[in-house]
């Protein structure tokens, strides 16, 4: 397996990946854990292609297999994510309490059309053009008693109705940071 | 324990080597079990589900390509339920992508097409999906046409297990699964492809083909891979 | 369906290339036997302005690609006992369906404006509008028998017609193939 | 931290833990599960810690997991030495100051208390808190916990998950120590086998057998995996188990490792559970430091390494072979079995995978033995299962019940049934691999086999309750959409089959499905179930198969009638309000027309949809209010009172005759067909209006002397003035409808005469026979039935009424009788055998009666009417009732207690409901439904067994209300015309209305307007109308509040 010579990564990125690989070498679930760490560590929370090429070379794993894993799991993003994330739960309890309308409402509010979602239609992750917002769904947060549930930047909003969510997003949209 | 066991297939007693699968035992006894993703020399994956058989005493259908034959087994290959289910599986495959046989390089030599004829599939009752899929012409000698791909992963397995380059794999999941060359590159831009062409020879349909062939002209040499695999002591 | 009165047979040509009709004519000697027992009442091979009532058998070639095809298909279904989709275009929407991934408006612009060197305009009057997709006949009406093939083998057509004339159900397994 | 290497250091840690659990200065513990935090527990915790520091109090403050009742969160446990542990519920940050005052004074704030715990059985140990507080119920005496037995959740919500010593304090790691000391792995496996512990992940495979297979496998490396992927939407029990008691899981796995010979364990936890991952990592670290995990555990020479891997969002990885693929660094696509993981699992080595909850049962079985374990649960499936009870139920949360408990107990007893004004329709168990079970089958015990017989599975234990606002077709579509997006795509039946099934289900919810689709759904489901490679595909069709089996009529409704009763499938209705209206009035249209100040067009739109707008405008029970989306912002639009305003304005506005002419312009040319209608009630009048508008000549036969049925002869003047009814009848008379009064079908004219004289006949005679009441004394003078009483009054006949009147019943008829009797100067008491919230009467009417002085007595069933000397009534005796089991109507059945109450009265009015006149039905020769003794009509066309004979209204539905009855009349007219004329002319009857289809730029902020009631004492004196309608300004403002849900992308 040729080492990915053509890949020019910044030094600290290469060192970061090397440290992860040596820390987790041979451990079960190694690839998942490393990919999760790389994505969490990235400012725009996604996995750039050159990072993946370098990682595949360092782990001696075919790039096709790494790409197959990265595109299989819904947690991994191949495109830069917005500064703020609005995640609507599409679990059963939330569905029966109208979370689909919440999703359509927030997508309308941010001007995300059908076409902008990449990935499968039902995965429905869409990022606004200005890179400020990403709207995504999750199959179940495990918060069913608070249904319908939405998560805005890691903060869980329980029993949320359309107006409350709209206010939350509007607040973030106006905030400078 | 001696190396031979006897099982019953569609009522007929058949000798089998211990450890061989029901599929291989039936094939050796001249009883063809339909199958699209299985191939001698490649590790069986049980993806197309066409080779499912009924085994007496087991309340669910078993994939004959991965289930080892066991002493005293009574296997049914053809029953009303199995034939109906196989026809439905073929109809699902034909509806999934754009299988326009009339203008396909493999017209007349395609395993999907011949199975449809053999099992009497005259039409597809499910709605055609008409997905928008590309054709990769970047490789100097070969063509990848996603419209004809049935995701049987023979190409993935031959490239990984026999050639050892592991250029191909499946990206995405569910109905959005797609064959990918390395990190979603074009075939011509592949770094590890040795252009050996094994993937083209094992592909059951017109998805992988050699350039320079017109409609109905692409005939695959599948036995070459089987012989190579046996020589290299490939699994089973 | 034997009996003295002549069997009324109709054929129709929707979005197809007429290859199936030629294949129908290639049944050669059977044509002679057919003429005595069958009366061709509608289709490209016969001069009949309107689709007649109470037709016994209809062979329909071609995918349903325009509003015109759709109306004709529905009329045929309403006035015919046994409807047969003849050939891959009618059975699977075959080659016509290769335009389905392109939005209709973009398709018309590509062909009639960018692709045309003179009189660049999308034809409107007298031309039935295109449907979103070219679809098999069975998507629009209930079809009784399917004869796949591009073109369908004359032998298969002959088998179907003779079986129907003798009042038997045709068995096409192994006789026909797609493409 | 000292390593525990022998018994004494073990007991030292145990004692240290007890001091934290029962500190001398008292303890406060805040429930900090993820959902507790979601309910504000974090702010509460900081407020408490600041409060304690600020005041220098000595309380020991701790964070604990979730105790179970999510709807009661945030929860706080408080303990003072000598007193029981008290669970406080719904505690807010601002309660902290008062709480600390009470606690520091040694008092427990009873108003915040939910329940108390005097002694708690942690199975591996017991903790005595103390006794006292007699009037506070024990934990298992309150409905939510009644019947629960906490084995898996033994420690959750009580001990601090971040402190190993608290786990040791309640007997934690005692089982591990015992196993290591006994050093007899086979015996432990036999115990697990004898306990018949079955896998809690859903399949229910015997855990003992799996462990045995692993033990016997010969390999130098074996793995144990804990499957905490819990991808089932609607299930969160594994999350709470880990967040509340991580060490319980670790101890289970270490025992499992020692017993099966596995030296390494892996915890595969969902990435969506960050708090669970954090607490598990903390617990692993603590256990390693204290020598209970890792090298040379407890100094007994056994080593077991435990590591945690976070899943990355793939439901299929809950399947064991997919999980293994995921751990090996590949996409989570299952592999065929055989080979089973026990022979060749992770990296080809023998591997055993068990669900989180299964591990929690290990320590209890080791400590208490298999005999104790098999005492709970059912013979084939001993022990308990934790369920997450969620959805349309009042009390939601984690419920740990013995296996074999009937569904009814979960939904009604623990869950408290549906919220007020709603009825439960079904329960969905087993998540996307499970199915929907209708309320008629709620007696089914919840167990692996029994649920499988109904086509569902127990699965992870998700239990989602649904009410009539949930559409079962949409639920099936939702689950197929879920499994379709989570399918790994490897095998054809699941990858393509689910996609085609989703396409078909989408056609159903869009109203574009065909008859063939129904058969195709069934055939495709069976193929996917039998041919798919793994559990995901094999069980994915279950939601469709069960809804097809138990709710087939909903599929047929969508297919043939293009209707979604629940109002979820938006394409099948103009808007949610139109869908809920029995007359399907185009409500957004008349609101928009009035908003544009076009009163006459608005009236035309209203009257064409509903021929009696002013009558229904006063008495309809307005189901539209429950579906109005405006309720999501403040309150529903007041649609009924706006169309009442429109009608009143036209009738009194002087241009009513011109309007009648305008309506007549839309009349179809005469068809020459003659139609007879039997019964001039609201149903008959509606059918007459539409048939006349479509050009048929209509004759109405009525046994009374005038038209109107219940509207004239049952509804009192103060509720529906006869003048309003007469105004509305003018339109019908002008249409040329003939009325033949005082004619009783079966006597003055027979059905056979009608069938010869008319091309079509519509029966709408309503329900006028009183339900027979088994009550001694009903034959006495002074005992009246509600309808005859109201009828006599409407005909101004003299009715002898006493001074003190008792009305029996809770429906509209009861309230009408009560308020009428009040206006006749009597003192009135209404006696109802259930509670106020169960009364079928319209709430506004019940309240208005109360304001006027009517007294209510609930939970009392009539027992005997007492007669005086001259045979008159002197009193009525009622038996006090308590509410027992829930019956199939979703309400609790009243059960007499034997305690008798006596009410002095001289008149009793029985208003316990009306039924169909059975003799008329039997004489009619028409086919009847066997058990309900109702007329059998086609659900889609309302045609009876005799061709061209139709029936509708209360006659076929039983006593209902005005708008429902009229809905049948309208439906019958549509079908009769289609059959008479052989063409579907119905849509052409409506004129084209030009009105704005642009969504309102900004929706008015004003709140809902209500009609105005006259002061109670004034209106109680006479029979003038008790309310005055909306003013012009109020009606106009109300129209501005409509969100125009009828405007969608496609149609403007």
Q: What 3-state DSSP class applies to D949?
A: strand
Phi, psi at residue D615, to the nearest 5°?
A: -65, -55
How many domains would you assign to chain A?
2
Asked if D347 and D464 sit in the same domain, the reply is: no
pLDDT band (50, 70, 90) for residue B132: very high
CB contact, 8 Å: D633 with chain A?
yes
pLDDT band (50, 70, 90) for residue A123: low
Say if residue B161 is exposed, middle or buried (CB neighbours under 10 Å; 0-12, 13-18, 19+): middle
Provide the CATH number for the domain around residue D775: 3.50.50.60
User: In this structure, are residues D402 and D376 in contact, taking their beta carbons and an 8 Å threshold?
Assistant: yes
Q: Token pair of D480, please?
A: 């197929």
User: In this structure, are residues D122 and D154 in contact, taking their beta carbons and an 8 Å threshold?
Assistant: yes
pLDDT digits (tens, 9 = 90+) for A11-49: 999 999 999 999 998 888 999 999 999 999 999 999 999
Asked if A17 and A97 sit in the same domain, the reply is: no
Asked if D199 and D347 sit in the same domain, the reply is: yes
Asked if A56 and A116 sit in the same domain, the reply is: no
pLDDT digits (tens, 9 = 90+) for C21-31: 999 999 888 88
> What residue has token string 């002959």?
C158
Domain membership flag for residue A5: no
Residue A56 C-alpha, separation from nearest chain B C-alpha, in angstroms: 10
User: In this structure, are residues D41 and D186 in contact, taking their beta carbons and an 8 Å threshold?
Assistant: no
Which pLDDT score, from 0 to 100, does residue A118 have?
Answer: 43
Provide the CATH number for the domain around residue A123: 3.40.30.10
The count of CB pairs under 8 A between chains B and D is: 100
Mean pLDDT of B34-41: 92
With 90 as the cut, is the pLDDT of residue D185 above it?
A: yes
**Nearest residue of B to residue A121, measured between CA atoms:** B176
Mean pLDDT of D810-816: 91
Which pLDDT score, from 0 to 100, does residue D1019 have?
Answer: 87
ipTM over 0.85: yes
Which pLDDT score, from 0 to 100, does residue D840 have?
Answer: 86
With 60 as the cut, is the pLDDT of residue D295 above it?
A: yes
Percent of chain D whose pLDDT exceeds 90? 62
D530 compared with A124, residue with greater pLDDT: D530
Asked if A66 and A115 sit in the same domain, the reply is: no
Which pLDDT score, from 0 to 100, does residue D920 have?
Answer: 78
Which pLDDT score, from 0 to 100, does residue D259 have?
Answer: 95
User: In this structure, are residues D607 and D666 in contact, taking their beta carbons and an 8 Å threshold?
Assistant: no
Domain membership flag for residue D558: no
From A32, A122, A147, residue closest to D484, measured CB to CB: A122
- CATH of B101-230, picked from 3.30.70.20, 3.80.10.10, 2.60.40.10, 3.30.1490.190, is 3.30.70.20
Phi, psi at residue D662, to the nearest 5°?
A: -65, -40
Does B100 contact C94 at a Cβ distance shorter than 8 Å? yes
> Which residues lie across from D785 on neighbouring strands?
D910
Asked if A93 and A158 sit in the same domain, the reply is: yes
User: Which pairing describes strands D949-951 and D934-935: parallel, antiparallel, or unpaired?
Assistant: unpaired
From B166, B174, B176, residue closest to A64, measured CB to CB: B166
pLDDT digits (tens, 9 = 90+) for C72-105: 999 999 999 999 999 999 999 999 999 999 999 9
Which pLDDT score, from 0 to 100, does residue B65 have?
Answer: 95
Domain residues for the domain of D412 are: 378-470
Which chain C residues are closer than 8 Å to B107 by Cβ?
179
With 50 as the cut, is the pLDDT of residue D1052 above it?
A: no
Asked if D213 and D225 sit in the same domain, the reply is: yes
Asked if D961 and D936 sit in the same domain, the reply is: yes
Percent of chain D whose pLDDT exceeds 70? 99
Question: Which residue from D75, D86, D83, D17 is spatially nearest to D48, judged by alpha carbons?
Answer: D75
Which pLDDT score, from 0 to 100, does residue A117 have?
Answer: 42
Phi, psi at residue D745, to the nearest 5°?
A: -65, 135
D613: left (phi over 0), alpha (psi -120 to 50) or beta: alpha
Domain membership flag for residue A4: no
From C95, C97, C176, residue closest to B128, measured CB to CB: C97
What is the DSSP annotation of chain C? Answer: --SSSPEEEEEEESBS-SHHHHHHHTTTHHHHHHHHHEEEEESTTS--SSPPSSEEEEEEESBEEEHHHHHHHHHHHHHEEEEEEEHHHHHH-TGGGGGTTS-HHHHHHIIIIIS-SSS-----TTSPPEEEEEE-GGGTS--SEEE--SSPPHHHHHHHHHHHHTT-----TTT----
Q: Token pair of D316, please?
A: 């299929």
Domain membership flag for residue D935: yes
With 90 as the cut, is the pLDDT of residue D530 above it?
A: yes
With 80 as the cut, is the pLDDT of residue A176 above it?
A: no
The mean pLDDT value of chain D amounts to 90
Asked if D864 and D1007 sit in the same domain, the reply is: no
Mean pLDDT of D135-149: 91
Which pLDDT score, from 0 to 100, does residue A116 have?
Answer: 42
Question: Residue ranges per domain, chain B?
Answer: 4-78, 101-230
User: In this structure, are residues D128 and D103 in contact, taking their beta carbons and an 8 Å threshold?
Assistant: no
Question: Which residue from D629, D628, D596, D624 is spatially nearest to D609, judged by alpha carbons?
Answer: D624
pLDDT digits (tens, 9 = 90+) for D566-601: 888 888 888 989 999 999 999 999 999 999 999 999
pLDDT band (50, 70, 90) for residue B233: low
Which pLDDT score, from 0 to 100, does residue D39 have?
Answer: 82
Domain residues for the domain of A99 are: 84-174
Phi, psi at residue D361, to the nearest 5°?
A: -85, -10
pLDDT band (50, 70, 90) for residue D976: very high
Domain-ending residue, one of A52, A72, A92: A72
Asked if D607 and D755 sit in the same domain, the reply is: no
How many domains would you assign to chain C?
1
Please tell me the least confidently modeled range out of D223-227, D612-616, D793-797, D804-808: D793-797
Does C143 contact B123 at a Cβ distance shorter than 8 Å? yes
Cα separation of D971 and A74, whole Å?
49
Does C85 contact B119 at a Cβ distance shorter than 8 Å? no
CATH number of B4-78: 3.10.20.740
Mean pLDDT of A142-169: 84
Asked if D216 and D261 sit in the same domain, the reply is: yes
> pLDDT 10s per residue in chain C (179 long)?
445 678 999 999 999 999 999 999 998 888 888 888 899 999 998 888 899 999 999 999 999 999 999 999 999 999 999 999 999 999 999 999 999 999 999 999 999 999 888 888 888 888 899 999 999 999 999 999 999 999 999 999 999 999 999 999 999 988 899 98
Cα separation of A46 and D476, whole Å?
34
Best of B184, B186, B190, B193 to disrupt the A interface (most A CBs within 10 Å) is B184
Mean pLDDT of D290-296: 93
Q: Token pair of D496, please?
A: 């393509």
Please tell me the least confidently modeled range out of B76-80, D231-235, D261-265, D803-807: D231-235
**CB neighbours of residue D257 within 10 Å:** 24
Asked if A96 and A153 sit in the same domain, the reply is: yes
Give B45's Cβ-side CA count (13 Å radius): 20
pTM of the model: 0.87
Domain residues for the domain of C59 are: 7-99+130-165
The mean pLDDT value of chain B amounts to 92
Q: C-alpha distances in angstroms, D619 versus D616, D716, D845?
A: 5, 11, 10
User: In this structure, are residues D623 and D566 in contact, taking their beta carbons and an 8 Å threshold?
Assistant: no
Strongest mean pLDDT among D3-12, D279-288, D759-768: D279-288
Phi, psi at residue D769, to the nearest 5°?
A: -85, 135
With 70 as the cut, is the pLDDT of residue D757 above it?
A: yes
Asked if D361 and D217 sit in the same domain, the reply is: yes
pLDDT band (50, 70, 90) for residue D1050: low
Q: What 3-state DSSP class applies to D626?
A: helix
Which pLDDT score, from 0 to 100, does residue D889 have?
Answer: 67
**Nearest residue of D to residue A150, measured between CA atoms:** D38
With 90 as the cut, is the pLDDT of residue A154 above it?
A: no
What is the DSSP annotation of D438-457? Answer: EGGGTTSB-SHHHHHHTT--
Give B101's Cβ-side CA count (13 Å radius): 27
Asked if A53 and A99 sit in the same domain, the reply is: no
Domain membership flag for residue D480: no
Q: C-alpha distances in angstroms, D62 versus D51, D83, D539?
A: 14, 18, 43
Q: Token pair of A165, please?
A: 């969510």
Cα separation of D553 and D547, whole Å?
10
User: In this structure, are residues B16 and B65 in contact, taking their beta carbons and an 8 Å threshold?
Assistant: no
Asked if D924 and D904 sit in the same domain, the reply is: no
Cα separation of D1043 and D577, whole Å?
11
Chains touching chain B through at least 3 C-beta pairs below 8 angstroms are: A, C, D
Which pLDDT score, from 0 to 100, does residue A144 have?
Answer: 78
Domain membership flag for residue D133: yes
pLDDT digits (tens, 9 = 90+) for D79-123: 999 899 999 999 988 889 999 999 888 888 888 899 999 999 999
Q: Token pair of A111, please?
A: 């001007």
Cα separation of D952 and D403, whole Å?
46
Which pLDDT score, from 0 to 100, does residue A1 have?
Answer: 41
Domain membership flag for residue D635: yes
Cα separation of C158 and C161, whole Å?
5
Which pLDDT score, from 0 to 100, does residue A124 have?
Answer: 65
Domain membership flag for residue A147: yes
Residue A47 C-alpha, separation from nearest chain B C-alpha, in angstroms: 12
Does C172 contact B125 at a Cβ distance shorter than 8 Å? no
Provide the CATH number for the domain around residue C145: 3.40.50.700
Domain membership flag for residue D438: yes
SS3 string of D723-766?
HHHHHHHHHHHHCCCEEECCCCECCCECHHHHHHHCCEEEECCC
Asked if A68 and A102 sit in the same domain, the reply is: no
D66 compared with D932, residue with greater pLDDT: D66
User: In this structure, are residues D934 and D928 in contact, taking their beta carbons and an 8 Å threshold?
Assistant: yes
Phi, psi at residue A155, to the nearest 5°?
A: -110, 125
Mean pLDDT of B74-80: 94
User: In this structure, are residues B100 and B56 in contact, taking their beta carbons and an 8 Å threshold?
Assistant: no
pLDDT digits (tens, 9 = 90+) for D1017-1046: 888 888 888 899 999 999 999 999 999 989
What is the DSSP annotation of D782-845? Answer: TEEEHHHHHHHHHTT------SEEEEE--SHHHHHHHHHHHHTT-EEEEE-SS-GGG--S-HHH
Question: Which residue from D116, D112, D83 is spatially nearest to D100, judged by alpha carbons?
Answer: D112
Domain membership flag for residue C172: no
> What residue has token string 């992870």?
D460
How many domains would you assign to chain D?
6
Does B183 contact A68 at a Cβ distance shorter than 8 Å? no
Q: What strands lie across the sheet with D76-79, from one edge to the other?
A: D60-64, D27-31, D76-79, D85-88, D113-117
What is the DSSP annotation of C103-152? Answer: -HHHHHHIIIIIS-SSS-----TTSPPEEEEEE-GGGTS--SEEE--SSP
Asked if D799 and D698 sit in the same domain, the reply is: no
Asked if A56 and A129 sit in the same domain, the reply is: no
Cα separation of D86 and D102, whole Å?
13
Domain-ending residue, one of A72, A96, A117: A72
User: Alpha-carbon Rg of chain A, whole angstroms?
Assistant: 18
Interface of D with B (CB under 8 A): 314, 316, 331, 333, 335-336, 338, 484-493, 495-500, 503, 520, 523-524, 527, 530-533
Provide the CATH number for the domain around residue D445: 3.10.20.600
From D336, D495, D500, residue closest to B177, measured CB to CB: D495
Q: Token pair of D377, please?
A: 């649960």
């Amino acid at each position: 397996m040729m080492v990915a010579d053509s890949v020019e990564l910044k030094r600290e990125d290469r060192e970061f990946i090397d440290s992860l690989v040596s820390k987790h070498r041979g451990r079960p679930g190694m690839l998942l854990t490393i990919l999760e760490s790389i994505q969490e560590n990235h400012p725009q929370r996604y996995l750039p292609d050159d990072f993946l090429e370098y990682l595949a070379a360092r782990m001696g794993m075919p790039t096709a297999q790494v790409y197959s894993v990265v595109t299989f799991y819904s947690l991994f993003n191949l495109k830069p994510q917005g500064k703020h994330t609005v995640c609507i739960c599409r679990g059963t309890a939330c569905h029966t309490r109208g979370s689909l309308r919440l999703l359509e409402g927030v997508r309308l509010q941010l001007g995300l059309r059908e076409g902008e979602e990449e990935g499968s239609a039902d995965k429905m992750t869409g990022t606004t053009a200005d890179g400020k917002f990403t709207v995504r769904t999750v199959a179940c947060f495990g918060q069913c008693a608070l249904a319908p549930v939405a998560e805005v930047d890691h903060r869980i909003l329980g029993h949320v109705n359309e107006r409350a969510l709209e206010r939350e997003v509007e607040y973030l949209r106006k905030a400078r940071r | 324990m001696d190396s031979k066991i006897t099982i019953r297939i569609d009522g007929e007693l058949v000798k089998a080597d211990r450890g061989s699968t029901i599929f291989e035992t039936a094939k050796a006894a001249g009883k063809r079990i339909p199958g699209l993703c299985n191939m001698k020399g490649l590790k069986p994956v049980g993806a197309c589900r066409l080779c499912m058989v009924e085994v007496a005493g087991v309340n669910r259908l078993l994939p004959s390509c991965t289930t080892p034959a066991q002493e005293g087994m009574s296997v049914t290959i053809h029953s009303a339920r199995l034939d109906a289910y196989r026809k439905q599986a073929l109809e699902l495959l034909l509806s999934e992508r754009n299988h326009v046989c009339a203008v396909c390089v493999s017209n007349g030599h395609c395993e999907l097409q011949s199975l449809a004829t053999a099992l009497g599939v005259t039409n597809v009752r499910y709605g055609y999906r008409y997905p928008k899929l590309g054709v990769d012409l970047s490789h100097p000698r070969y063509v990848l046409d996603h419209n004809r791909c049935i995701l049987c992963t023979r190409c993935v397995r031959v490239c990984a297990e026999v050639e050892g380059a592991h250029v191909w794999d499946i990206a995405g999941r569910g109905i959005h699964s797609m064959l990918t060359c390395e990190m979603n590159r074009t075939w011509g831009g592949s770094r590890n492809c040795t252009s050996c062409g094994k993937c083209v020879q094992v592909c059951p349909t017109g998805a992988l083909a050699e350039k320079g062939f017109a409609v109905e002209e692409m005939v695959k040499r599948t036995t070459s891979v089987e012989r190579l695999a046996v020589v290299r002591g490939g699994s089973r | 369906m034997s009996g003295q009165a002549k069997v009324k047979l109709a054929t129709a040509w929707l979005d197809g290339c007429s290859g199936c009709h030629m294949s129908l004519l290639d049944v050669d000697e059977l044509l002679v036997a057919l003429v005595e027992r069958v009366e061709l009442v509608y289709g490209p091979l016969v001069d009949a302005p309107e689709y007649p009532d109470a037709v016994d058998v209809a062979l329909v070639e071609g995918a349903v690609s325009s509003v015109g095809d759709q109306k004709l298909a529905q009329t045929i279904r309403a006035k015919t006992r046994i409807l047969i989709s003849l050939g891959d275009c009618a059975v699977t929407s075959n080659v016509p369906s290769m335009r389905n991934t392109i939005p209709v408006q973009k398709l018309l612009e590509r062909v009639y404006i960018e692709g045309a060197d003179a009189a660049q305009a999308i034809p409107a009057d007298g031309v039935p509008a295109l449907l979103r997709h070219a679809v098999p006949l069975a998507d629009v009406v209930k079809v009784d028998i399917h004869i796949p093939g591009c073109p369908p083998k004359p032998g298969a057509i002959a088998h179907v017609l003779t079986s129907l004339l003798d009042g038997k159900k045709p068995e096409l397994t192994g006789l026909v193939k797609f493409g | 931290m000292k390593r525990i290497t022998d018994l004494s250091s073990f007991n030292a840690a145990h004692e240290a833990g007890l001091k934290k659990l029962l500190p001398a200065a008292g303890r406060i513990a805040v429930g900090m599960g993820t959902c507790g935090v979601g309910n504000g527990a974090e702010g509460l915790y900081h407020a408490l810690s600041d409060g304690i520091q600020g005041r220098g109090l000595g309380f020991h403050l701790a964070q604990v997991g979730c105790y179970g009742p999510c709807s009661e969160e945030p929860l706080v446990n408080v303990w003072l030495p000598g007193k029981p542990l008290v669970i406080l519920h719904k505690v807010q940050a601002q309660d902290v100051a008062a709480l600390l005052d009470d606690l520091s004074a040694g008092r427990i704030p009873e108003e915040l208390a939910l329940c108390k715990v005097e002694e708690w059985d942690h199975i591996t140990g017991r903790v005595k808190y103390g006794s006292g507080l007699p009037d506070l119920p024990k934990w298992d005496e309150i409905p939510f916990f009644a019947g629960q037995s906490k084995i898996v959740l033994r420690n959750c919500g009580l001990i601090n998950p971040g402190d190993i010593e608290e786990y040791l304090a309640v007997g934690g790691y005692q089982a591990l120590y015992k196993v290591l000391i006994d050093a007899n792995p086979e015996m432990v496996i036999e115990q697990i086998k004898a306990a018949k512990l079955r896998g809690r992940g859903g399949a229910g495979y015997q855990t003992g057998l799996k462990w045995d297979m692993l033990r016997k496998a010969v390999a130098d490396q074996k793995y144990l995996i804990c499957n905490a992927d819990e991808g089932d939407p609607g299930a969160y029990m594994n999350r709470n188990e880990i967040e509340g008691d991580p060490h319980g899981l670790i101890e289970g796995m270490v025992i499992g490792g020692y017993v099966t010979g596995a030296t390494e364990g892996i915890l595969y936890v969902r990435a969506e559970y960050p708090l669970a991952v954090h607490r598990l990592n903390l617990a692993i670290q603590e256990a390693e430091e204290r020598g209970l995990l890792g090298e040379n555990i407890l100094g007994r020479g056994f080593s077991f390494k435990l590591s945690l891997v976070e899943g990355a969002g793939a439901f299929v990885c809950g399947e064991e072979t997919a999980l293994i693929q995921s751990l090996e660094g590949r996409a989570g696509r299952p592999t065929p079995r055989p080979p089973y993981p026990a022979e060749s699992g992770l990296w080809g080595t023998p591997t055993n995978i068990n669900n989180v909850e299964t591990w929690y049962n290990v320590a209890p079985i080791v400590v208490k033995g298999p005999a104790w374990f098999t005492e709970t649960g059912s013979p084939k499936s001993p022990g308990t299962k934790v369920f997450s009870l969620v959805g349309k139920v009042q009390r939601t949360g984690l419920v740990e019940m013995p296996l074999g408990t009937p569904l009814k107990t979960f939904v009604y007893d623990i869950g408290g049934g549906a919220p007020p004004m709603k009825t439960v329709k079904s329960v969905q168990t087993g998540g996307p691999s499970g199915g929907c079970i209708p309320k008629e089958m709620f007696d089914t015990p919840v167990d692996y086999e029994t649920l499988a017989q109904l086509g569902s599975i127990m699965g992870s234990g998700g239990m989602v309750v649904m009410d009539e606002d949930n559409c079962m077709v949409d639920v099936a579509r939702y689950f197929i959409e879920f499994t379709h997006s989570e399918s790994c795509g490897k095998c054809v039946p699941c990858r393509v089959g689910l996609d085609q099934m989703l396409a078909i289900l989408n056609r159903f919810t869009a109203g574009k499905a065909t008859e063939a689709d129904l058969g195709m759904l069934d055939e495709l489901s069976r193929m996917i179930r039998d041919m798919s490679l793994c559990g995901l595909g094999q069980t994915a069709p279950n939601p469709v198969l069960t809804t097809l089996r138990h709710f087939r009529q909903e599929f047929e409704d969508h297919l043939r009638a293009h209707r979604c009763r629940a109002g979820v499938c938006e394409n099948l209705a103009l808007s949610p309000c139109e869908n809920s209206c029995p007359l399907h009035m185009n409500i957004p249209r008349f609101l928009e027309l009035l908003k544009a100040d076009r009163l006459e067009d608005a009236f035309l739109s209203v009257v064409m949809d509903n021929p009696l707008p002013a009558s229904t405008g006063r008495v309809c029970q307005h189901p539209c209010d429950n579906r109005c989306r405006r309720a999501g912002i403040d309150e529903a639009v007041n649609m009924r009172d706006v169309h009442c305003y429109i009608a009143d304005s036209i009738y009194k506005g002087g241009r009513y005759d011109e309007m009648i002419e305008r309506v007549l312009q839309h009349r179809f040319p005469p068809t020459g067909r003659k139609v007879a209608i039997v019964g001039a009630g609201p149903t008959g009048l509606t059918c007459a209006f539409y048939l006349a508008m479509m050009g048929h000549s209509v004759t109405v036969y009525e046994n009374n002397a005038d038209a109107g049925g219940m509207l004239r002869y049952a509804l009192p003047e103060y509720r529906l003035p006869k003048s309003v009814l007469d105004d509305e009848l003018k339109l019908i008379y002008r249409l040329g409808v003939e009325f033949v009064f005082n004619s009783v079908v079966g006597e003055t004219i027979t059905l056979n005469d009608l069938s010869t004289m008319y091309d079509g006949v519509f029966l709408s005679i309503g329900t006028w026979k009183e339900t027979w009441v088994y009550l001694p004394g009903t034959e006495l003078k002074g005992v009246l039935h509600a309808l005859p009483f109201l009828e006599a009054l409407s005909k101004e006949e003299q009715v002898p009424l006493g001074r003190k009147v008792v009305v029996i019943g809770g429906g509209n008829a009861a309230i009408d009788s009560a308020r009428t009797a009040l206006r006749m100067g009597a003192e009135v008491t209404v006696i109802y055998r259930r509670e106020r919230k169960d009364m079928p009467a319209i709430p506004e009417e019940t309240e208005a009666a109360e304001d006027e002085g009517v007294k209510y007595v609930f939970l009392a069933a009539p027992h005997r009417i007492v007669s005086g000397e001259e045979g008159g009534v002197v009193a009525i005796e009622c038996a006090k009732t308590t509410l027992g089991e829930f019956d199939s109507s979703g309400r609790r059945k009243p059960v007499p207690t034997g305690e008798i109450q006596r009410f002095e009265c001289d008149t009793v009015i029985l208003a316990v409901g009306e039924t169909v006149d059975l003799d008329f039905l039997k004489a009619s020769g028409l086919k009847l439904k066997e058990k309900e003794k109702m007329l059998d009509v086609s659900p889609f066309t309302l045609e009876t067994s005799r061709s061209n004979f139709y029936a509708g209204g209360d006659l076929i539905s039983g006593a209902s209300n005005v708008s429902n009855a009229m809905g049948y009349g309208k439906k019958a007219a549509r079908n009769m015309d289609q059959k008479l004329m052989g063409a579907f002319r119905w849509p052409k009857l409506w004129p084209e209305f030009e009105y704005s289809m642009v969504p309102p730029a900004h929706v008015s902020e004003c709140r809902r307007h209500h009609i105005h009631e006259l002061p109670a004492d004034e209106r109680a004196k006479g029979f003038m109308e008790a309310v005055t309608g909306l003013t012009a300004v109020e009606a106009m403002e109300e129209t501005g509040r409509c969100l125009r849900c009828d405007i969608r992308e496609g149609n403007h």
